[in-house]
Structure 1
Amino acid sequence: MQEQVAFLATVTVLGVLEQAYFAMQVIYARRKYKVSPPNITGNPEFERIYRAQVNCSEYFPLFLSVLWVSGIYFHQGVAACTGILYLFGRYQYFHGYAASAQGRLAPLYFSSCILWILIGLSSLGLLAHWLPVDVAYLLKHHTGL
């Protein structure tokens, strides 16, 4: 069983580490820009870093869900590679947003596209699971091949 999910587990841990890194960046920004908790407003640079971290955190459960479903029901390797791309996109998003509000857009579109791919892989995998179809049987009996 462990071999069947080792890549997914690795990407999950990498994602958790990325989330921890984003949270640490907020702590550093609080110190740098003197924004004490529970305040979330102040210096625009702080606010962008804070929003980037919150936005990444909001999408993380969705990412984990479709990563694991696509890995279990579609293909572990494909899901793990796609997951790495997603994490890369979120890293770019975080740093792009920290630099400027406009800097978040291209990485946001990229990571959203990757997330939709994972949703599609999950859907295909579950569809194949619930509707097992013998393609050879269908070809033979419905096309005369």
Structure 2
Amino acid sequence: MYHFTALVTCLAILFYLFTGIQVSKARVALGVKAPATSGHPDFERVFRVQMNTLEWMPVFLPSLWLFAIYISDAAAAVLGLVWIAGRLLYLVGYSRAAAKRGPGFAVQGLAAGVLWLGALGAIAWRLIHA
């Protein structure tokens, strides 16, 4: 069973939904009417947090699950929590200034990279030793 990975998956989706709410709030507060995606720098940064999170989900989620299946549910979940923490750090930094997004991006990128490389390595190992 992959209960820990499933829980982290739900938390990642919850974080993404939270970013959508932040975009909606920024639209109202800053007067950026849909379908516009620009117009106020504060809105644009909040919008980019949501879009960047969406852009990373197709890398993160399959890597998370493949790591869980081929290596460890618990280890995948811990790395998944690190990814979410990185996304939160990215949100806080980028919301303040574009130049402050780097640390959060690095944390989430490293976590996603470890998940992907770990899964790839474990799959290759099993193929070679099958």
Same fold (TM over 0.5): yes
Q: Distance in 2 between matches of 1:86 and 1:77?
A: 14
Show the counterpart of 1:143.
none
Query: Is the CA contact 1:74–1:124 (under 8 Å) kept in the aligned structure 2?
Result: no
Q: Which amino acid aligns with 2:65?
A: W
Q: CA shift at 1:114, angstroms?
A: 1.1
C-alpha RMSD of the superposition: 1.1
> Is the counterpart of residue 56 in structure 1 residue 53 in structure 2?
yes
Q: CA shift at 1:61, angstroms?
A: 1.7
Q: Which amino acid aligns with 2:100?
A: G
Q: Distance in 1 between matches of 2:10 and 2:66?
A: 16
Q: Which amino acid aligns with 2:34?
A: P
Length-normalised TM-score, structure 2: 0.96
* 1:1-145 superposed matches below 5 A: 4-132=1-129
Q: CA shift at 1:95, angstroms?
A: 1.6
Residues paired across the two proteins, number: 130
Question: Where in structure 1 are there 5+ consecutive unaligned residues?
Answer: 134-145
Q: Distance in 2 between matches of 1:130 and 1:77?
A: 23
Q: Distance in 2 between matches of 1:71 and 1:52?
A: 27
Deviation string, structure 1 residues 62-105 (Cα, Å, up to 9, x no partner): 10010000000111111110000001101110121111001101
Show the counterpart of 1:138.
none
Q: CA shift at 1:129, angstroms?
A: 2.1
Q: Distance in 1 between matches of 2:82 and 2:38?
A: 31
Which structure: larger Rg? 1
Deviation string, structure 1 residues 89-133 (Cα, Å, up to 9, x no partner): 011101211110011011111111111111111012212321227
Query: Is the CA contact 1:48–1:101 (under 8 Å) kept in the aligned structure 2?
Result: yes
Length-normalised TM-score, structure 1: 0.86
User: Which 4+ runs in 1 deviate beyond 6 A?
Assistant: none
